[in-house]
Amino acid sequence: MKNDKMPTSDSYNEYLIKSLKKEPELAAAYITATLNEQDPELLLLKSALTDIAEALGEQNNMVPLQIKQHQ
């Protein structure tokens, strides 16, 4: 993972989606970190999967309705 600083003009979620899109291995690390928690929260896992689905959906030119179906 690169040592990029989070830009102040983008929201954190926009920055996260762009990062997941640029570096797919980051998506795997994101899910792994979520699952490695002592008590993994289902909402946190759902959020991570939703972020990844959004990033991959944009990468594969999915329309918003298709992305929503995978959330």
* Cα separation values, 64 from 14, 25, 57, 58, 60, Å: 15, 23, 8, 9, 12
Q: Is the pTM here over 0.75, yes or no?
A: no
Confidence of residue 63 (pLDDT cuts 50, 70, 90): low
More confident residue, 33 or 62: 33
CB 12 within 8 A of CB 51: no
Confidence of residue 2 (pLDDT cuts 50, 70, 90): low
Q: 7-26: per-residue pLDDT in tens?
A: 555 688 889 988 998 888 99
